Copies of this chain bind each other. A is one copy, B any other.
Amino acid sequence: MGPSALEDLITAFGRLPGIGRKTAQRLALYVIKAPRQEADALASAIVAAKDGIAYCAKCFNFTDRGQELCEVCRNPRRDGQVICVVEEASDVIALERSQLVSGTYHVLGGALSPLDGVGPDDLRIDELMRRVGDGGEVKEVILAHNASAEGEATAEYIYQKMSALTKVTRLARGLPVGSDLDLIDRVTLAHALEGRQNF
């Protein structure tokens, strides 16, 4: 079918999520034709990302290796009294891009999922409890989990454990901007009705 180095590269690209055989082949052919410099840059970026990225000792967000705390936790202007709890470090990237969070984060590392064998001990819930318990400094915990069954279960669990210690809130559920009422799913509609607001 072709040189083995080409087949190997197609296979390696094909292991990436959402990359099928055809896309993998297109990427491999591109790399072979690309300037040497660009191919080397991609290869080194992959290795550098594996080598250069660590997790914040406080909130478990991504941080540069060698830095104990992440950019957010190091920033003295961020409000340490508010902790926004997310499932994954990639959620922090999305929230930081929005510039809507002035507080800090806590990355759980997933969501409760009995079917997948993910229990409370597999998430960084104890670490969150310790941050909230430390001297009563934390005024609010915002649960920013995904709108999935696992996300809801995780939020419910944390709420039960933490509501005695501090204020616990969650992101609003309702109609996303630009949505057609007649196309929206029933559960979202139920949330939108339940959470209806006064003018």
Task: With CB as the reference atom, state the residue of chain B lying closest to A88.
Answer: B29
Would you give the 0/1 interface string for A36-70, flagging 1 where the beta carbon is closer than 8 Å to chain B?
A: 10111111111111111100000000111000000
**Contact across chains for B25 and A64 when beta carbons are under 8 A apart:** no
A16 CB contact (under 8 Å) in B8, B27, B32: B27
Tell me if A97 counts as interface (CB < 8 A to partner B). Answer: yes
Give residues of chain A (128-180) contacting chain B, Cβ–Cβ below 8 Å: none
Instruction: Please classify the interface of chain A as helix (H, G, I), strand (E, B), loop, or mixed, using the class held by over half of its residues.
Output: helix
Given A25-B90, A30-B16, A90-B25, the answer on whether A46 and B43 have CB atoms closer than 8 Å is yes
Instruction: Tally chain A residues at the interface, Cβ within 8 Å.
Output: 53
Binary interface encoding of chain A residues 1-29 relative to chain B, with 1 for a CB under 8 A from any of its CBs, else 0: 11111101101110111110001011111
